[in-house]
C-alpha cells in the first residue's frame, strides 16, 4: 500500500516536472503561435519588458508587469503540458508491451515448426502460432483454437479473457499474453499501424484532432483577440488628437485584460483532458471529435444480448409438439447445434446431455453453421434429410409453413416469449418438432440507466433477433423507448439511416463483423475490444473492457466535455467584465476625471489597479486547471436546466468572484507599493 502511494507520488512529481519543462519549451515561436490568444500575451510580455528597459515606465512597475504576464503565459502552457504529460505517462506503459516481440510464422494450419521472425517483419494475412506463455506479436483474428489471454498490458485488467476462433470474440491484440492452450492467428495489422501503435499516438496527443466545437470556439477567440488588438492599437492615435499620452505598458495591460485569456489558456487542456477521461474509462476514442459527438447523440441503438441482458443465454427446456417424443426433439436439437459455436448452441448440447441424450455425430453430414442473416443452424444428412434450428420466422420460411395452421406451436412460442425467454424452433425436413427455451437475465440497474438517458433527452432503441413477443417483454422490463424485433444486420443499418434522416445523432454498440456497416454508419460506433478486427476498424471508439453498457458512460463523458468547455468559456468572458472596471479608470482617469465613476471597487491607485487585475488574470488559470482536467460534474437534466445552472454558477460567479478577488489583491498591493 505504502509502496503504491509512493509510486503515485513519484509519478505525479515526474508529470509536474515534465509539464513545467514543456511549459517553457512552448514559449518558442513555433509552439506559441498554435494558441493565438496566448501568443498575443507572450508578445505583450516582450513589448512590456523592452519598454521598461527603454525607460518608458517605472523600472519596478514595468518589471512586475512583465513578470506577471510571463507567469500568465507559463500557467497557460502548463495547463496544456500537464494534460499532455498524463497522456505520455499512459503511453510509456503501452510501449513496454510491444518491445522486442518475435513471432513464429507458419505456412499453413498444418505447419508444426514454422520460422522465428521479428514481429516487425509480419504482414497482413500472415499466419502465426502462439503458445501458452508467449506474447501475441501482432493484431489479428484467431482462425484455429481457443485460449485464455491476459490483456492487462492494454486494458489494465488482470483477469484473463477467453478468445476463440469462429466467434465474435476472436480478435486479439499484439502485446497481450496467451496463458493457456495454443492458437493460430491471422495477422490483420500493418507494421506501425497496430492497435497499440494507434493507442500510443492517441494518448500522447500527437494524433489529437480538434473537434468542430473546439475549432469554432478557437476561431471566435481569435476574432475577439484581433478585434481588441485593433481597438488598443488605435487608442494612441485617438489619444494624440485629444492630447492624451498613453504608456505602452498600460496599453498591453489593457489588451491582456480585454482578450479572453482564461479560456484561451485552458482550451487545449480541455480537449486533451476529454481524451484522457475516455481512456480512464478504458475507452479508446479515435479522435476528440468522437468524444464530443457522444455528448450530442439523441438516439442510442443497443443489442439486447450482452447489453441489456447478460448475454449468456442458456437452453433451459425442450418442448416437443404433439406426436414428437422428448428424445426425438433433443436428438434433432443436438445435431443442429454441433456446428453452432455460439454459447446458446453449446448450451443446447449441454442440456441434452444432462437429460441423458447421447451425442453421436453423423458421418459425412454437411453442417450449416449459425448465420446472423439467416438466424438458422443445422445440417444436411447423407440421405438428403435436412435438420434445422432457428428463430420462428426463419424456420417457417425454411419449411414453407404457415403459423396459422400450427396453433400448438404458436401457443408454445408465445408462452416461452411471454416469460422474456427466447424460443428456438426445430424442424426435421418439413416437419416441425418443437421448441427450445433459451433463458437470459436482464442486467441489474439497467432500467435506471435508461431512465437516466431519458432525462438527458436520449431515445433508446433495443435491437434483437428475437420474435416480437419476446422483444416486447424484454423492452418493457428493461424500460427502453422502442425496439426492433427479428432484426437482421441490415435492419440495424436501415434503422440508423432512418434516424439520421430525421436529423438525429445515433450511437450504437457492436462486436461482430456483421455489425461493421452499422458501426461505420452511426455517428458514434463503440466496438468491443473482444470483437472482430472489422468491427474495431469500423467503430470510432473501442471499449477495452468489452462492456456494451459502457456506451452509457461514453455519453456522459461527451456531455461532460461539452459542459466543461461551455462553463469555462462562460466564466472567462464573465470575469473580463470586472477587469474592465479595474483597468479603464486606471488608464484614463488622469486625463478624463469623469472616468473615476467606473472605479466601483475603489482601488488604491492606477498602478495597484493594473497589477491587481493582471495578478488575478494570471492566478485564475492554474486555479481552473483541476476543473479543466477533471471536467465539470455532470447531472442528467434538460438543455434549459443546464444553461440556467451554467449561467448561475459560471456566469454570475464569473462576474462576482473577480470583483472580490481584485479588491482583495489591491488591498495587499497598495500596502506593498506604499513601502
Residue 190 vs residue 204, higher pLDDT: 190
Residue 182: how many CA atoms within 13 Å on its side-chain side? 6
Mean pLDDT comparison of 15-19, 87-91, 124-128, 471-475, highest-scoring range: 124-128
For the segment 441-456, the average pLDDT, to the nearest whole number, is: 82
Residue 453, number of CB atoms within 10 A of its CB: 23
**Radius of gyration for the chain, computed over Cα atoms and rounded to the nearest angstrom:** 33
450 close to 479: Cβ distance less than 8 angstroms: yes
- What is residue 8's predicted lDDT score, i.e. its pLDDT? 41
Report DSSP state, residue 403: G
pLDDT of residue 5: 37
Q: Which of 197, 303, 515, 545 is catalytic?
A: 303
Is the pLDDT reported for residue 206 higher than 60? no
How, if at all, do strands 177-178 and 182-187 pair? unpaired
Non-local (6+) Cβ contacts of 400 within 8 A are 430
**What are 285's strand-pairing partners?**
541
φ and ψ at residue 185, rounded to 5 degrees: -115, 135
Q: What cell does 70 get?
A: 510571463
Q: Where are the beta strands (DSSP E) in 415-493?
A: 422-428, 431-439, 459-463, 482-484
Alpha carbon separation from 531 to 142, 164, 271, 628 (Å, rounded) = 11, 10, 28, 33
> For residue 209, what pLDDT is reported?
62
CA atoms within 13 A on the CB side of 513: 9
- The per-residue pLDDT for range 578-608, each reduced to its tens digit, is 787 777 777 666 666 766 777 777 777 888 8
The pTM of the full predicted model, rounded to 2 decimals, is 0.69
Task: Based on the residue annotation, tell me whether 303 is a catalytic residue of this protein.
Answer: yes
Which band of pLDDT confidence, cut at 50, 70 and 90, is reported for residue 97?
A: low
Q: Would you mind telling me the total number of residues written for the chain in this entry?
A: 675
The segment with the largest mean pLDDT, out of 150-164, 346-360, 613-627, is 613-627
Query: CB-based contacts of 415: which residues, under 8 Å, 6+ apart?
Result: none
Q: Decide if 242 contacts 600 (C-beta within 8 A).
A: no
Tell me the pLDDT tens digit for each residue of 525-538. 888 877 777 788 88
Q: What is the average pLDDT across 660-665?
A: 89
Quote the CA–CA distance of 261 and 224 in Å, as a whole number.
11
Confidence of residue 95 (pLDDT cuts 50, 70, 90): low
Give the C-alpha separation, 142 to 149, whole Å: 12
Take residue 108 and report the three cell numbers written for it: 499453413
For position 68, what pLDDT does the model report? 94
Amino acid at each position: 500500500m505504502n509502496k503504491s502511494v509512493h509510486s503515485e507520488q513519484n509519478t505525479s512529481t515526474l508529470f509536474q516536472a515534465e509539464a513545467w519543462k514543456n511549459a517553457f519549451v512552448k514559449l518558442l515561436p513555433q509552439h506559441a503561435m498554435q494558441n493565438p490568444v496566448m501568443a498575443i500575451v507572450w508578445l505583450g510580455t516582450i513589448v512590456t519588458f523592452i519598454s521598461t528597459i527603454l525607460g518608458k515606465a517605472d523600472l519596478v512597475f514595468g518589471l512586475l508587469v512583465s513578470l506577471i504576464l510571463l507567469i500568465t503565459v507559463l500557467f497557460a502552457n502548463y495547463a496544456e503540458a500537464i494534460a499532455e504529460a498524463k497522456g505520455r505517462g499512459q503511453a510509456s506503459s503501452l510501449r513496454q508491451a510491444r518491445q522486442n516481440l518475435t513471432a513464429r510464422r507458419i505456412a499453413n494450419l498444418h505447419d508444426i515448426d514454422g520460422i522465428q521472425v521479428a514481429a516487425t517483419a509480419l504482414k497482413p494475412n500472415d499466419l502465426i502460432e502462439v503458445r501458452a506463455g508467449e506474447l501475441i506479436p501482432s493484431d489479428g483474428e484467431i482462425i484455429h483454437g481457443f485460449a485464455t489471454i491476459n490483456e492487462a498490458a492494454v486494458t489494465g485488467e488482470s483477469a484473463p479473457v477467453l478468445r476463440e476462433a469462429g466467434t465474435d470474440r476472436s480478435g486479439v491484440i499484439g502485446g497481450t499474453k496467451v496463458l493457456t492452450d495454443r492458437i493460430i492467428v491471422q495477422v490483420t495489422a500493418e507494421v506501425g499501424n497496430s492497435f497499440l501503435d494507434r493507442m500510443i499516438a492517441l494518448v500522447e496527443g500527437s494524433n489529437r484532432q480538434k473537434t468542430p466545437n473546439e475549432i469554432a470556439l478557437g476561431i471566435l477567440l481569435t476574432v475577439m483577440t484581433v478585434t481588441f488588438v485593433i481597438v488598443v492599437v488605435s487608442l494612441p492615435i485617438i489619444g494624440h488628437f485629444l492630447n492624451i499620452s498613453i504608456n505602452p505598458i498600460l496599453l498591453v495591460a489593457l489588451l491582456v485584460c480585454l482578450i479572453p485569456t482564461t479560456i484561451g489558456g485552458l482550451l487545449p487542456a480541455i480537449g486533451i483532458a476529454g481524451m484522457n477521461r475516455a481512456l480512464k474509462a478504458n475507452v479508446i476514442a479515435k479522435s476528440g471529435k468522437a468524444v464530443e459527438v457522444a455528448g450530442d447523440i439523441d438516439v442510442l441503438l443497443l443489442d439486447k444480448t450482452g447489453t441489456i441482458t447478460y448475454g449468456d443465454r442458456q437452453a433451459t427446456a425442450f418442448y416437443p409438439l404433439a406426436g414428437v417424443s422428448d428424445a426425438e426433439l433433443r436428438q434433432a436439437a443436438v445435431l443442429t447445434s454441433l456446428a453452432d459455436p455460439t454459447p446458446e448452441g453449446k448450451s443446447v448440447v449441454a442440456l441434452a446431455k444432462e437429460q441423458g441424450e447421447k451425442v453421436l455425430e453423423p458421418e459425412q453430414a454437411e453442417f450449416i453453421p449459425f448465420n446472423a442473416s439467416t438466424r438458422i443452424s443445422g445440417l444436411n444428412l447423407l440421405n438428403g434429410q435436412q435438420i434445422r434450428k432457428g428463430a420462428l420466422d426463419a424456420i417457417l420460411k425454411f419449411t414453407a409453413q404457415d403459423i396459422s395452421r400450427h396453433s400448438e406451436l404458436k401457443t408454445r412460442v408465445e408462452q416461452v416469449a411471454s416469460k422474456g425467454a427466447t424460443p428456438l424452433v426445430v424442424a426435421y425436413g418439413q416437419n416441425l418438432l418443437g421448441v427450445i427455451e433459451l433463458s437470459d437475465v436482464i442486467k441489474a440497474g439497467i432500467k435506471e440507466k435508461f431512465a437516466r438517458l431519458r432525462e438527458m433527452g436520449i431515445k433508446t432503441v433495443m435491437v434483437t433477433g428475437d420474435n416480437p413477443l419476446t422483444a416486447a417483454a424484454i423492452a418493457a422490463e428493461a424500460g427502453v423507448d422502442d425496439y426492433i424485433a427479428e432484426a437482421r444486420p441490415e435492419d440495424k443499418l436501415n434503422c440508423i439511416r432512418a434516424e439520421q434522416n430525421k436529423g438525429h445523432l445515433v450511437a450504437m454498440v457492436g462486436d461482430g463483423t456483421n455489425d461493421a456497416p452499422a458501426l461505420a454508419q452511426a455517428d458514434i460506433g463503440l466496438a468491443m475490444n473482444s470483437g472482430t478486427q472489422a468491427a474495431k476498424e469500423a467503430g470510432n471508439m473501442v471499449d477495452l473492457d468489452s462492456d456494451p453498457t459502457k456506451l452509457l458512460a461514453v455519453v456522459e463523458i461527451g456531455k461532460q466535455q461539452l459542459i466543461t468547455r461551455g462553463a469555462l468559456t462562460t466564466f472567462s468572458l464573465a470575469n473580463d467584465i470586472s477587469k474592465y472596471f479595474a483597468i479603464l479608470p486606471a488608464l484614463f482617469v488622469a486625463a478624463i476625471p469623469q472616468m473615476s465613476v467606473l472605479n466601483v471597487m475603489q482601488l488604491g491607485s492606477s498602478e495597484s489597479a493594473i497589477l491587481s487585475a493582471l495578478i488575478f488574470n494570471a492566478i485564475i488559470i492554474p486555479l481552473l486547471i483541476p476543473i479543466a482536467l477533471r471536467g465539470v460534474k455532470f447531472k442528467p437534466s434538460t438543455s434549459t436546466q443546464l444553461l440556467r445552472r451554467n449561467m448561475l454558477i459560471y456566469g454570475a460567479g464569473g462576474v462576482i468572484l473577480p470583483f472580490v478577488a481584485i479588491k482583495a489583491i489591491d488591498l495587499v498591493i497598495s500596502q506593498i507599493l506604499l513601502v
